[in-house]
Structure 1
Amino acid sequence: MTSAPIASAIEITPTAKISRETHGWRSKCLQRLIRMDLPVPRSFAVDCDSVRSISQGRPIPATELAEIFGGSGLVSVRPSAVSPEWGGPGTVLNVGINDALHERLTAQIGRANADGVYLSFVQSYATHIARLDPDLFTLDGPDALARALDIYRGETDEDFPQDPVKQLSEVLRSMARAWDGPTARLLRQAKGAPADAPLGLVVQEMALALGPGLCGSGTIQFIDPVTGTPRVTGRFRGQHHGQTVGSGAETLYLTQDDRGPALEDSAPEIFDELIRFGIASRERLREEMQIEFVLTGGAISVIDAVRTQRSARAGLRVAVSLARDGIIPVEEALMRVEPRALAELLHHQIDPRAPRDLIARGIDASPGAATGRIVFSASAAQAAQSRGEPCILVRRETVPEDIRGMHAAVGVLTERGGTTSHAAVIARGIGLPCIVGATGIVIDARNRTLRAGARTLSEGDEITIDGSTGEILAGAAVLLPPALDDAFTQLMDWAEDAGGLGVRANADTPEDALTARRFRAQGIGLCRTEHMFFDAERLPAMREMIFADTPEDRRLALERILPMQRADFTRLFEIMAGHPVTIRLFDPPLHEFLPSDRDGLRELAASLDLPLSDVTRRVEALTEFNPMLGMRGVRLGITVPEIYDMQARAIFEAAVEAGHKGDPVVPEIMIPLVSAMKEVELVRTRVDSVAAAVRNERRTDFTYHLGVMVETPRAALRAGDIAEHSAFLSFGTNDLTQMTYGLSRDDAGRFMGTYVNQGVFAEDPFHLLDEDGVGELVLTGVERARLHNPDITISVCGEHGGNPESIAFCDRVGIDYVSCSPFRVPVARLASAQSAIHRRRGR
């Protein structure tokens, strides 16, 4: 039986065997600083295994600890976890001070300063090591040290420990056991660390920041943490040694500005040396670092260096800057930027330095921030827009008729809903900040008020919503503009060069298409034509078609819409300039185009010149028990074929017109909600007939591709049969998830949080593609489709097409491209590039 290893500490030297995995990030960082010849005080690393041994009662030998003390006689102990994000026990300063050292320090830095150093350690040791009541040691005055030592003696029946080795041994033991405590485990798990994550410790000689000459402590960093632009910032606190503040203490900023005196002016040679350290750290550590330093009589000691905290926009700029300067490879720059962070950069953001008057929270459904006056209806939003007043559309939940109001507003807030509710999906599509599921608010639409806690706001009051965090603020907040600068453009260029899946955009309007082109989408992967029918000029014709009794009457009504649809498609084709455009044929149930309230029914009856009772009966007849699983999609196209006939004609005529003006157009027509091969055959027959008619009428030949939107589990399972009659398949993972789970995405927000918290689902399946269930159907569909049609193009066009983790899955299973909301295209492009890099690296 072998004995357990003895805990030990090794001095951090340029050649010492120090690694992040065995000693933690701080030990490795200090070694790199030492290798750069920076003036780092003598430091020792206690490896993770030794820390674990210490927590189990096996201390470092006293002879080894005794060798650590030197110089000022004081040491500090700091945590060194494998990752800095995991945190650790608080730093303990001034270990080693005792009566004898106190006397020496008195002669060196004065009685008051020496008392302060000794008192701060007694307070720390008594409360964190001896576990005494901290209130007993809240002392001040000239005799505070003597009283603290007396209290310690009275509480423990022994003198304060005078042996530095015993002090250090107890500090190490306390920190090691604190790391293993249940509270610490929970905290680091919340930060993404495993429960049994290892901890190293660093013991470092302390440089005195008190005494004659220029003494003190400070930090310096070299970028603006919000923008990432080069800028020296920081603060130097003269005569500050930890919590001990000496006489003559003052605060200096690093550079001169309107805040006060600067170290740059009072000690230019020290400032220049710090700048040199920053440049060296950036080049050797390949990162923008914040340096912690101490001055002792004008001599610099570098105590630590940590990665400078930064916003998403600053992180992108830093990564690009490091790559441009040749400090890191381009691939590494791409991997350093979190794809989701790009979504924030495309919109206004609340300045993190500004105050926030938080009144409620909801689900962050669409990123960006906006300030506007509260409105409670789509018509009020349009009226506000006409007056040039920014407004926030506030609804219990949005419905299709609210789309006009959403376009008129600068942001949307709903009391109900989840990340895939109507408001969330539409808002992401048009790049509108949106918060849904704000259960902390109560909307009174009749009295036009919004109650949030004890506050009641009325229509016209100003609020700010942050769709990136879910925060709802009272009043106007300071907003930062979108960060679409040269660094962003450069990163996107590199992402394109890195390869990966193709990325198209879901675009229904010319504005969407222009946004998609601006973000360099490789085409339109989903154009939802039903949104075009809600236009005020088209809705009456659509309703007239719904109420028509014969196919001929339906055709006459649809003929009024045909030129408008043709113009829509022509404009899309022109904007995309030869890039592929996939147009989904009409999908929703007809009841969505009819009013449900009494006033709306009266207006409809008047416009159709029909009795109200007839209109009411017809609306009731079209009502389905479960319309999302009823007569919609291809079912509607087969039973009311005139709709698809009109749309096919509009597409072909638009393709001819756009082709005459510019690049050749090969439209891609997609059939929604297919579940059987026969459905595809029936629609193809009619579409081919329309194509032949347009060719004859226009005396122009053209080609087109017909494909299927795979949204039902049966379509995924029968993808082989369907692929034989299709040029492409596009998985609509929104509906495929609904049908696989038997779960409404609009209602899921009411309980999804509970399900995720209790581990029923690891994540909201409408947010992150369920690889085990829905993903299995996608994989099965891909394999069976390619078996029957090796040349078929396969894509994903649901909301998951803009999710980085889901994109990685798509890459693994052989998807050709993803399609997502225009404002998520950069996110998808970066995620696709990262997936390609991972694949090349064999991960």
Structure 2
Amino acid sequence: MEGKKRVYKFGGKTADGNSTMKNLLGGKGANLAEMGLIGIPVPAGFTITTEVCTEYNLYGKDAVVQTIKEQVEEAVKATELTMGAKFNPTDGSFPLLLSVRSGARASMPGMMNTVLNLGMNDETVKIIAEKSGNAKFAYDSYRRFIHMYGDVVMGVEAEEGHHNPFEVILDELKAAKGYKIDTELTVEDLKTLVEGYKAVIREHAGVDFPTNPWDQLWGSVCAVFDSWNTERAILYRRMENIPSEWGTAVNVQAMVYGNMGDSSATGVCFSRDAATGEDQFNGEYLINAQGEDVVSGVRTPLEITTIGSKRWAERNGTSEGDRVKNFPSLEEVMPSLYQELNVTQQKLEDHYKDMQDMEFTIQEGKLWMLQTRNGKRTGAAMVKMAVDMLEQGLIDEKTAILRQEPNKLDELLHPVFDQDALVSAKEISKGLPASPGAATGQVVFSADAAEKWAADGKKVILVRRETSPEDLKGMYAAEGILTERGGMTSHAAVVARGMGKCCISSAAGLVVSKTSMTVGGVVYKEGDFISLNGTTGIVYEGKVDTMTATLDGDFAKLMELAEKNTRMYVRTNADTPDDAKAAREFGAKGIGLCRTEHMFFEGDRIWAIREMILAEDLAGRKNALAKLLPIQREDFYGILEAMDGFGVTIRLLDPPLHEFTPNDAASQVEMAERLGVDVELVKAKVESLHEFNPMLGHRGCRLGNTYPEITEMQARAIIEAACDLKAKGFNPKPEIMVPLIGTMQEFKMQEDIIREVAAAVFAEKGLEVDYLVGTMIEIPRACLTADKIAEHAEFFSFGTNDLTQMGFGYSRDDAGKFLPIYIEKGILKHDPFQVLDQEGIGQLVEMACEKGKAARPSLKIGICGEHGGEPSSVEFCHRVGMEYVSCSPFRVPIARLAAAQAAIRE
């Protein structure tokens, strides 16, 4: 562990690192170094690398502290020189106080620990009070530090069912003095709190609060490393697909203060609107406050820009006079500093060529930038920003595509409130539109309740006074989030936008308790329905109907760019003409999977299938199938028409026959009466169809090869529909897919039946259509013998759901009992039914592609399993040379974007 550089300094317009070193310095550390290098005012400090976090987890605290001790001490000295202050002074010099923050490669807002004002003790607080001439500021900073250090480093937190002990003391003092807000506290009050907080630590931690700044520093650094593996950080990484082995850097930086009086302030700002994508500088600030005051929601922050302030006032019905007097913008209160901030944010956006999320502090009239990062944004904002920046010449087409997170497009494709339903909806409150979208659900008041109710299949709205990182699992489970406090940059707002969740913060008149919320004198208890419009900030009572969202020109432009830059095209999995039409509107070029068995469950069709199952001989089965033929033909006609000119892959009957028969006695009696047979015959047939492992039983091509009349009927229905369409001037392209083959002979027997039927239909109709006969590759043996199968099959379509099931030996129906535990313990990185296992199942797929193409170079290859709409799986499909992927209609745009990204990265 010796000899390596593990600590990188920054400050005073110099830095050891830069923005290209995010893997080593984390996003925050790399950007702090970069800001210094381009002349942005950044408080000096240093970054302990992500590699040290890995070493910390491997070797433990003592070994790592000893290894980095010398480099950290050197970096502290450099920080002292730059800032003109001393850490742990013994000569009366102005004390250097530090912040200790995390900084992973990928942004994880609020997920890990932070300690501010580090270096304070009974001596340094007196020096700061004397030299600053502001004793209130000094002791307020000291009590904040003890609270934060006790919580983050020493583990002093609220016991179950109780309030935070530090907050209890604060609330009691405020109540006794009649104070409403913290700023009313006097110096003597703050000194009382300091001693009270120390006593809390002594009582709960069993040791005294550490007064040596070096002990405080090492405790804080280790607490940040420890927070990498907290429950909330692990959950966030899992949600955002951030590898656990990356680790976090630790950024130690000189403190600057926004709470030194009315010439000081702090805030969070964005170079563009993170919710809508509008090219408008925006953000929030507070006079005489520390940074956590802005994001915690304890005080309602004000808008930075005048236009933002006026919009806020308009939404809340605040008069212009009242706004200027009580809710002025930073632009109005500190015009010169606002102008400096505005120039700085534009400089940072131009430098990084992306929307920036920034934190700043104004200390007694001097602006300091504490952080910049590429800001999280909603799906709509993501699309708009990329298109706008492309048109502004800030980025090129490929960058615009690569900047998209494909899964975020989901936010644009799902329902919004039906405008007609809103006419009669009862508005009960209005707050800040923190994250757009529409959500209806039953209110719950804790993260645990949200998680439990959602697991039971209920849609919930998580309602909180303000959210914290501990609420993450509940926010993830909820349809939307509503808070009493907080602004557009609060924890709830930032995290909800990152998740694509609807969120309204600082709702007017909302009072939230542990078990209810009160608005306008009306009490809403757990389980009551409310609806949130995150785009307008309006809260409605009860349920409000939704409707399909309308996509704008920016979305269309993005899809044009994707089309222009892609090689692999996208089909859809669709079983009805309506689904096919919807997918075509999203840009699907054909159908990759039409599941014919889904058609058998509509209306009275099931009875024809059941009649066939009960038939005692071939004649009886053919008679029943003859009733299905015109129905199937009509279905195929509609689907082929909807995808006119594009290939439509139609899978022959796949599931075992028992799925079409009833298991309960009452339904068996109904079946007997409906079909005019003895109920005992029905029971006997149901029993005979029972299989110990039906997924590996009498299904797929095995049905078609034992009952060839089924294949004959389906093939005839497909070819007749195609011929009828061609006669009317359409260009149908049916592709008949044989499911579940494991041997070439299984496929060949089905192919012969299909081609014989096609030849007969062509003779009858007096015309021919182009069609293909291929197979679904979903059995490992089919991958191993793909070259033999490709001698006859004209296309392969990978059914990766079953291939994953058979490859892993996991039952999809039962794997939910252990897969979450496997992922939590790191046995698996992802659920293999959601994200294709490229290491194992991927080898089978790649092998089959190579073998198949070698035997038949013209072989068309695609994928129709659910992985066809998952971005990393789509990229894999591109890499192994597939022609297309297929997915559900609403995931078609996601797959199109992922396919374009794969081509660009190639």
Query: What TM-score does the superposition give when structure 1 sets the normalisation length?
Result: 0.75
State the distance in 1 between where 2:605 and 2:198 align.
Answer: 88
In structure 2, what is the Cα distance between the partners aligned to 1:251 and 1:550?
Answer: 79
In structure 1, distance between residues paired with 2:246 and 2:771:
58
| Correspondence for 1:25 | 27
Amino acid aligned to 2:130: E
1:795 is displaced (CA, Å) by 1.9
Equivalent residue, structure 1, for 2:351: 284
Q: Distance in 1 between matches of 2:691 and 2:532?
A: 36
Counterpart in the other structure of 1:835? 902
Contact 2:454 2:460 in 1 (8 A): no
Superposition deviation, residue 707 in structure 1: 0.9
Aligned match of 2:69: 57
Q: What corresponds to 2:286 in structure 1?
A: 237
The AA in structure 2 aligned to 1:210 is: M
Question: Letter of the aligned partner of 1:253 in structure 2?
Answer: E
The residue matched to 1:674 in structure 2 has which SS? Answer: coil
Does residue 103 (structure 1) correspond to residue 116 (structure 2)? The answer is: no
Greater displacement, 617-626 / 534-543: 617-626
* Aligned Cα root-mean-square deviation (Å): 4.5
Does the 8 Å CA contact 1:728/1:793 hold for their aligned counterparts? yes
Q: What's the CA shift for 1:284?
A: 1.8
Q: 1:677 aligns with which of 725, 738, 744?
A: 744
Change (3 A) 1:179 1:508: same
Kindly state the Cα deviation for residue 696 of structure 1 after the two structures are TM-superposed. Answer: 1.7
Offset from partner CA, 1:130-186 (integer Å, 9 cap, x none): 99999699786543566688899999999998xxxx85x555444334344487688
The alpha carbon displacement at 1:657 in A equals 1.8
| 2:114 is the alignment partner of 1:90 | yes
Is this contact kept in 2: 1:188–1:195, CA < 8 A? no
**Residue matched to 1:425:** none
Aligned residues: 735
Contact persistence 2:774–2:794 (CA under 8 A) = yes
**Counterpart for residue 68 of structure 1:** 82
The residue that corresponds to 2:723 in the other structure is 656
Aligned equivalent of 2:772: 705
Q: Is the 8 A contact 2:43 2:83 kept in 1?
A: no
Alignment deviations for residues 335-375 of structure 1 (CA, whole Å, 9 cap, x no partner)? 2322222234321379876897245547999x99899xxxx
Q: CA deviation at 1:111?
A: 4.9
Provide Cα deviations, 1:295-341, integer angstroms capped at 9, x if missing partner. 45655444433443433443343333333322233323322322222
Q: Structure 2 matches for 1:204-223, cutoff 5 A?
A: 204=254, 206=256, 209-211=259-261, 214-223=263-272
- Residue 495 of structure 1 aligns to a residue whose secondary structure is helix
Whether the aligned pair in 1 keeps the contact of 2:44 and 2:79 (CA below 8 Å) is no
Q: Equivalent residue of 1:93, what SS?
A: strand
Report what 2:247 is aligned to. Answer: 197
Deviation at 1:189?
Answer: 5.8
The residue that corresponds to 2:11 in the other structure is 11
**Is the CA contact (8 Å cut-off) linking 2:114 and 2:224 kept in structure 1?**
no
Partner of residue 631, structure 1 = 698
Structure 1 position 13, deviation (Å): 0.9
Q: Aligned equivalents of 1:294 and 1:527: distance in 2?
A: 58
- 1:304-319 to 2 correspondence within 5 Å? 304-319=371-386
Flag the 1:160–1:332 CA change in 2: closer, same or farther, 3 A: same
Comparing 681-690 and 348-357, the one that deviates more:
348-357
What secondary structure sits across from 2:792 in the alignment? coil
- 1:77 and 2:96 aligned: no
Give the match for residue 402 of structure 1: none
Change (3 A) 1:361 1:186: closer
Match of 1:234, SS state, is strand
Is the 1:498–1:836 contact (alpha carbons within 8 Å) kept by the matching residues of 2?
yes
Change (3 A) 1:65 1:215: closer
Deviation string 1:102-130 (CA, Å, 9 cap, x unpaired) is 22322xxx554455456656777898899
Q: Does 1:357 align with 2:357?
A: no
CA distance in 2, matches of 1:601, 1:126: 67
Please state how far the C-alpha of 1:654 moved relative to its aligned partner. Answer: 1.2
Q: Summarize the Cα distance change of 1:126–1:16 in structure 2 as closer, same or farther, 3 Å threshold.
A: same
Matched residue SS, 1:79: strand
Where in structure 2 are the equivalents of 1:595-674 lying within 5 Å? 595-674=662-741
Q: Is it true that 1:489 corresponds to 2:538 in the alignment?
A: no
Contact 1:347 1:368 in 2 (8 A): no
% identical aligned pairs: 33
Q: Show the counterpart of 1:389.
A: none
**How has the CA–CA distance of structure 1 residues 812 and 618 changed in structure 2, closer, same or farther, with 3 Å as cutoff?**
same
Report SS of the residue matched to 2:289. strand
CA distance in 1, matches of 2:66, 2:709: 80
Q: How does 1:293-692 map to 2 (within 5 A)?
A: 293-295=360-362, 300-348=367-415, 357-358=443-444, 359=449, 361=451, 476=543, 482=549, 484-692=551-759
Cα distance, 1:486 vs structure 2: 2.7
Q: Give CA-to-partner distance per residue, 1:715-760, whole Å, 9 cap, x none.
A: 2222222211111122222222333344432232233333444455
What amino acid sits opposite 1:92 in the alignment?
L
Report the AA paired with residue 227 of structure 1. Answer: T
The 1:57/1:474 distance shift into structure 2, 3 A limit, reads farther
Instruction: Give the secondary structure class of the aligned counterpart of 2:387.
Output: helix
Number of the residue aligned with 1:404: none
Secondary structure of 1:667's aligned partner: strand
- 2:149 and 2:700 map into 1 onto residues whose CA distance is 72
Conserved in 2, the CA contact under 8 Å of 1:528 and 1:584? yes
Question: For 1:143, what is the secondary structure of its paired residue?
Answer: helix
Read off the aligned partner of 2:31 and give its amino acid letter: C
* Separation in 1, partners of 2:610, 2:197: 86
Question: Which residue identity does 1:104 align to in structure 2?
Answer: K
Contact 2:115–2:145 (CA under 8 A) maintained in structure 1: no
Cα offset, 1:6, TM superposition: 11
1:801-841 deviation per Cα after TM superposition (whole angstroms, max 9, x unaligned): 222232233233333322222222222222222222222xx
Q: Does structure 1 retain, via aligned residues, the 8 Å contact 2:572–2:588? A: yes
Any residues of structure 2 matched to 1:115-264 within 5 Å, and which? 115-117=139-141, 120=144, 141-144=186-189, 167=213, 172-181=217-226, 191=237, 192=242, 194=244, 197=247, 199-204=249-254, 206=256, 209-211=259-261, 214-240=263-289, 252-254=302-304, 255-256=309-310, 257-258=312-313, 260=323, 261-263=327-329, 264=331
Q: Distance in 2 between matches of 1:94 and 1:602?
A: 77
Question: Aligned-pair distance for 1:44?
Answer: 3.7
CA distance in 1, matches of 2:28, 2:826: 35
Conserved? CA contact 2:25–2:105, under 8 Å:
no
Q: 1:729 aligns with which of 796, 799, 811?
A: 796
CA distance in 2, matches of 1:520, 1:580: 14
In structure 2, stretches of 5+ residues that fail to align are 54-63, 86-93, 158-164, 174-184, 317-322, 418-432, 462-478, 480-500, 502-524, 534-539
CA contact (8 A) 2:573 2:886 kept: yes
Conserved in 2, the CA contact under 8 Å of 1:348 and 1:368?
Answer: no
CA–CA separation in structure 1 for the residues paired with 2:207 and 2:742 = 82
CA distance in structure 2 between the partners assigned to 1:624 and 1:26 by the alignment: 58
| Counterpart mapping for 1:688-837 below 5 A | 688-837=755-904
Residues 117 and 142 in structure 2, CA contact (< 8 A), matched pair in contact too: no
Q: Deviations over 1:425-444 (max 9, x none)?
A: xxxxxxxx9xxxxxxxxxxx
What residue ranges of structure 1 are gaps of 5+ in the alignment? 372-410, 412-432, 434-454, 467-472
